Amino acid sequence: MSSQDRALASMVALTPPDRWGKQCVAWVESRDAECGKDAKDGFLCARHATVAKNRWEKQQAKRQAQKQKRAQHRAEHMPDWLAERDRIDAELAKRTQPLTTDRAFSGGVGTGQHRKHLRRQFSDANVERVGALLQRRQTLEAMIGDHDE
């Protein structure tokens, strides 16, 4: 039996595949039992094979439509997301700039300049903002996803 047979049968079966045999495994609601006719098409009788194929196609169409909708949504928002990520990266770079590359810091460790910079960089407000930026960036990354691939 192919995986396609399995996939089709799972559209109409209730029992797990390891219990499927030579009889049609489609669940018949009105009888509250499996169909039980000889399986002609994979795990299903001819009638239930048709039912399964119809359900399968409907599900595929639905998935396709959802995929298209997602792709369209992504395409519409991608420029904004990429721009926002750039802005966040720029702000993060500024807020987490190492002391040694900070032009304002030229007086050396222990000087007033240095202490001022430290206070600014490690102030609660800055730490909070950096945390929020990192979180937003992670969310953006997830939305941007495999855009670059």
Which spans of this chain sit near Zn ion (rule: CB under 5 A)? 24, 26, 35, 37, 45, 48
Cα–Cα distances in angstroms (integers) from residue 73 to residues 46, 65, 68, in the given order: 41, 12, 8
Q: How far is the CB of 12 from Zn ion (least distance, A)?
A: 8
Report the candidate in 135, 129, 140 with the shortest Cα–Cα distance to residue 80: 140
Q: How far is the CB of 57 from Zn ion (least distance, A)?
A: 18
Residue with smaller CB distance to Zn ion, 8 or 35: 35
Residue with smaller CB distance to Zn ion, 38 or 141: 38
Q: How far is the CB of 30 from Zn ion (least distance, A)?
A: 13
Residue with smaller CB distance to Zn ion, 45 or 105: 45
Question: Maximum Cα–Cα distance for the chain, whole Å?
Answer: 89
Count how many residues are written for the chain.
Answer: 149
Phi, psi dihedrals of residue 39, rounded to the nearest 5°: -75, 130
